[in-house]
């Protein structure tokens, strides 16, 4: 697997500093990522291997303000079995996110807020660590000092375990934190810390949140799986696993218009090569992304 050298890129947003923490590269079926878009088109953007998989990343971001160190997303974590990990071209054992963060030069103990855009396993898997060795035992918080924040309607949906998307949820990633009171479940748009917001952006699923960080007239926006990779800035390029495709097109158009007009610095849930991007209007495709 290739390893692009985008690891730990940082940028300033007003008085805040944002650092990209890539919690591993993996491979996933390209058809699942691009839905009805023909492979003849998407393969120009993302090369597929002989199993039709494209390279993706678990993108997390650290936001440092004067008063807080905030982690957005915690990636895949340690709950998947070896077969699932092999299918995704992941190493058999997961490195704890805390050591990935330490390698970036940050003390994981300094993290006082953890935000999950939604509760799919690939966004909150590093919230907790299994204490029984490989893939077993009770889960303990990976960030004991932190207040975790997620959407209550999303958490309720996770427990519905519907046939279509029940497989996306692993309860040990969040329920121990909810039970201990360490995870706050919030209704709708919510200001996590001054000028740092979670805002509902339906499409990928009903209650996924995008995260905006504003300071000194500048804005950073983590688009999560509303726009999983740079290729998905074209509003109609919707993943096959997005639960509400029409709403996804609508939400994407709304958020990317704001991002382009405001010259926001944006980030995608799973892009392996572009940790930060500017969104530009495009007469043909709606939008394009330019690396920052
Ligand atoms: Zn995802």
pLDDT in tens, 123-151: 999 999 998 765 667 899 999 999 999 99
Which residues neighbour ligand 1 (ion) by CB within 5 Å?
A: 122, 225, 269
pLDDT at residue 7 greater than cutoff 60: no
Using the mean position of ligand 1's atoms as its centre, give its distance from the Cα of residue 168 in Å.
9
Cβ proximity of 16 and 64 under 8 Å? yes
Cα-based angle 222, 282, 29 (whole degrees, multiple of 5): 55
The predicted pLDDT at position 4 comes to 37
Using the mean position of ligand 1's atoms as its centre, give its distance from the Cα of residue 271 in Å.
10
Mean pLDDT confidence for 239-261: 97
pTM for this structure? 0.95
Q: Where are the domains of the chain?
A: 10-291
**Inter-CA distances, 256 with 18, 36, 221, 251, Å:** 20, 21, 10, 8
Cβ proximity of 59 and 269 under 8 Å? yes
Give the confidence band of 8 by pLDDT, cuts at 50, 70, 90: confident
Cβ proximity of 220 and 266 under 8 Å? yes
Cβ proximity of 201 and 209 under 8 Å? yes
Cβ proximity of 134 and 91 under 8 Å? no
Cβ proximity of 158 and 205 under 8 Å? no
Using the mean position of ligand 1's atoms as its centre, give its distance from the Cα of residue 257 in Å.
22
The CATH code of domain 10-291 reads: 3.60.15.10
Using the mean position of ligand 1's atoms as its centre, give its distance from the Cα of residue 71 in Å.
16
Using the mean position of ligand 1's atoms as its centre, give its distance from the Cα of residue 56 in Å.
10
Nearest alpha carbon to residue 198 among 123, 143, 263:
123
């Amino acid at each position: 697997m290739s390893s692009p050298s985008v690891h730990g890129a940082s940028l300033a947003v007003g008085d805040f500093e944002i650092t990209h923490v890539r919690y591993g590269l993996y491979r996933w079926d390209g058809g699942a990522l691009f839905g009805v878009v023909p492979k003849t088109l998407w393969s120009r953007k993302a090369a597929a291997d002989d199993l039709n998989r494209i390279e993706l990343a678990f993108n997390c971001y650290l936001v440092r303000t004067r008063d807080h160190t905030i982690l957005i997303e915690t990636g895949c974590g340690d709950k998947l079995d070896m077969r699932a990990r092999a299918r995704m071209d992941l190493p058999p054992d997961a490195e704890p996110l805390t050591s990935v963060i330490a390698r970036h030069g940050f003390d994981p103990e300094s993290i006082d807020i953890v935000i999950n855009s939604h509760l799919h396993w690939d966004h909150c898997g590093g919230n907790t660590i299994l204490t029984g060795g490989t893939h077993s035992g009770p889960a303990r918080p990976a960030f004991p000092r932190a207040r975790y924040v997620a959407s209550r309607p999303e958490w309720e949906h996770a427990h519905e375990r519907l046939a279509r998307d029940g497989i996306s949820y692993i309860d040990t990633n969040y329920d121990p934190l909810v039970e201990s009171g360490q995870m706050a479940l919030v209704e709708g748009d919510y200001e996590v810390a001054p000028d740092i917001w979670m805002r509902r952006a339906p499409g990928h699923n009903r209650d996924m949140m995008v995260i905006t960080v504003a300071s000194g007239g500048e804005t950073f926006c983590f688009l999560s799986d509303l726009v999983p990779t740079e290729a998905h800035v074209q509003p109609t390029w919707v993943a096959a696993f997005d639960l509400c495709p029409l709403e996804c097109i609508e939400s994407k158009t709304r958020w990317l218009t704001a991002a382009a007009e405001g010259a926001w610095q944006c980030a995608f849930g799973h892009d392996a090569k572009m940790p930060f991007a500017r969104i530009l209007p495009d007469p043909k495709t709606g939008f394009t992304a330019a690396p920052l």
